């Protein structure tokens, strides 16, 4: 079980969180009241989203089956090249001969504000070894998907999210939670501002119990919830109470909100145990494989009444998808190790989103899906 309340956690996280929380509590009442009575800031935010990177490197070679599945460092470099080259390209006016209707069609994309990762950044929790130590997969991820210079890493700030491959790997007893703690600590070190420490990519609201967090680009509110906000796997605390408070504090004025998580509403993410076939599939009526109807209903209840303009997820690898479920517009690019990404622009006029993938090793891309929605703010 992940013990978020252990002495070690409290000594490092609890004390600093308490100090940070006190400052936040002192600042909130007046700020929250004024935020609710004035129009939110202007919005002009372009960003990238990837999921299912699956860094596979071990101390020697790759994890089992990674080479056969294409989860190689060369594949990640191909994805990185496409992400780094995107700013010089134009928003597509057509895809496969059909007009996209994008608000930004034909205009230069420009440098994105950041890259959001939607989980499964590693293939098995950072890279197993016999005794707990720094995982080589997490190191590989950071060498490719942490802002830097040169052709071998991305050139924009990265907002890290975790998936089932990052959080389901057990360490050797008695260090069962070693890998989960390592992955969560990586998120914290990158994003949570402490009394004595400024992270490379600071965010507005970081929850030390769940490692979910949110931030704002102008009047756009963005929320990272890892697998999903109600996840309690391996003894984790549900982030639903934090999510409700976050939205009440930062999005009650009607500003657009974008949610990032790993699981989706596609048939793979919602599959259940099929006793007749002794497997999980989309026709099963047994226990859910990944997340349940109740999990989804709990999330929808937390989102109700807010201006959710998009949910971005991963988990399913080969198929890029743009679809609508439960009143939400949902976006899932092809897995990053297969070259996939999503490109998004949100303004005061609406949202443009395209899915694409790397077309070669030198930054060429192919756009496969497009979505646009206009609104009046």
The model's pLDDT over 257-301, given as tens digits with 9 standing for 90+, comes to 999 999 999 999 999 999 999 999 999 999 999 999 999 999 999
Per DSSP, the three-state class of 173 is: coil
> What is the spatial distance between Cα 222 and Cα 78, in angstroms, rounded to a whole number?
27
Report domain 41-374's class. Answer: alpha beta
Q: What local confidence, expressed as pLDDT, does residue 62 receive?
A: 86
pLDDT at 33 over 60: no
| Distance, CA of 164 to CA of 377 (rounded, Å) | 37
- Is the pLDDT confidence value at 206 over 60? yes
| Residue 15 clears pLDDT 70, i.e. is over it | no
pLDDT 10s digits, 145-200: 999 999 999 999 999 999 999 999 888 788 888 889 989 999 999 999 998 999 99
Question: What pLDDT shows up at residue 93?
Answer: 98
What residues pair up with 169 in beta bridges, in sequence order? Answer: none
| Residues 292, 295, 299: CA angle, nearest 5 degrees | 145
Q: List the chain domain ranges.
A: 41-374
Which segment, 1-10, 36-45, 197-206, is predicted with the most confidence on average? 197-206
For 82, what's the count of Cα atoms within 13 Å in the CB-facing half-sphere? 27
Q: Distance (Å, rounded) from C-alpha 283 to C-alpha 255?
A: 38
Mean pLDDT, all residues of the chain: 89
pLDDT digits (tens, 9 = 90+) for 43-98: 999 999 999 999 998 877 888 889 999 999 999 999 999 999 999 999 999 999 99
pLDDT, one tens digit per residue, over 336-359 is 999 999 999 999 999 999 999 999
The DSSP secondary-structure symbol of 333 reads P
pLDDT of residue 60: 77
Average pLDDT score over residue span 113-117:
98
pLDDT band for 32, please (50, 70, 90 cuts): very low
Name the β-bridge partners of 120. Answer: none
The reported pLDDT for the residue numbered 135 is 65
- What confidence category does residue 12 fall into, taking pLDDT thresholds of 50, 70 and 90? very low
Nearest 10 degrees: CA dihedral of 350, 214, 86, 351? -10
Say which residue, 248 or 174, is predicted with more confidence.
Answer: 248
Q: What is the pLDDT of residues 207-234, one digit of tens each?
A: 999 999 999 999 999 999 999 999 999 9
Residue pair 81/363 in contact (Cβ under 8 Å)? The answer is yes
Residue 31 scores a pLDDT above 90: no
How many helices (H) and strands (E) would you count in the chain? 9, 17
Angle at 297 between CA 292 and CA 303, to 5 degrees: 130
Q: What is the pLDDT of residue 148?
A: 96
pLDDT, tens digit, 9 for 90 and up, residues 289-330: 999 999 999 999 999 999 999 999 999 999 999 999 999 999
Give the 3-state secondary structure of residue 334. coil
pLDDT at 238: 97
Token pair 């507005």 is found at: 204
Question: Cα(319)–Cα(342) distance, rounded to whole angstroms?
Answer: 13
Euclidean distance between CA atoms 179 and 35, whole angstroms: 40
């Amino acid at each position: 079980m992940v013990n978020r309340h252990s002495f070690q956690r409290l000594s490092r996280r609890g004390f600093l969180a308490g100090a940070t929380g006190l400052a936040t509590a002192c600042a909130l009442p007046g700020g929250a009241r004024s935020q609710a009575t004035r129009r939110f800031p202007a919005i002009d935010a372009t960003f990238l989203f990837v999921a299912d990177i699956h860094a596979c490197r071990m101390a020697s070679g790759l994890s089992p089956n990674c080479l056969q599945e294409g989860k190689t460092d060369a594949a990640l470099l191909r994805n990185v090249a496409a992400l780094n080259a995107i700013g010089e390209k134009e928003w597509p006016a057509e895809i496969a001969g059909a007009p996209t209707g994008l608000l930004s069609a034909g205009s230069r994309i420009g440098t994105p504000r950041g890259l959001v990762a939607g989980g499964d950044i590693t293939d098995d929790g950072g890279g197993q070894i016999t005794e707990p130590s720094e995982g080589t997969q997490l190191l590989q991820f950071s060498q490719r998907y942490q802002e830097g210079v040169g052709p071998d890493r991305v050139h924009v700030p990265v907002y890290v999210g975790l998936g089932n491959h990052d959080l389901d790997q057990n360490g050797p007893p008695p260090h069962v939670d070693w890998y989960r703690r390592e992955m969560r600590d990586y998120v914290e070190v990158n994003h949570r501002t402490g009394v004595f420490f400024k992270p490379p990519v600071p965010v507005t609201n970081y929850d030390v119990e769940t490692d979910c967090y949110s931030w704002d680009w102008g009047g756009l509110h963005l929320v990272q919830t890892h697998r999903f906000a109600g996840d309690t796997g391996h003894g984790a605390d549900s982030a639903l109470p934090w999510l409700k408070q976050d939205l009440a504090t930062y999005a009650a004025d009607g500003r657009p909100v974008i949610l990032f998580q790993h699981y989706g509403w596609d048939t793979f993410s919602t599959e259940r145990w099929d006793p007749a076939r002794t497997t999980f599939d989309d026709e099963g009526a047994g226990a859910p494989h990944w997340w349940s109807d109740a999990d989804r209903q709990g999330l929808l209840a937390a989102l109700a009444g807010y201006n959710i303009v998009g949910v971005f997820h991963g988990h399913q690898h080969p198929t890029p998808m743009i679809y609508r479920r439960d009143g939400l517009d949902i976006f899932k690019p092809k897995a990053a190790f297969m070259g996939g990404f999503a490109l998004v622009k949100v303004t005061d006029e609406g949202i443009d989103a395209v899915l694409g993938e790397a077309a070669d090793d030198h930054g060429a891309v192919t756009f496969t899906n497009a979505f646009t929605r206009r609104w009046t703010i």
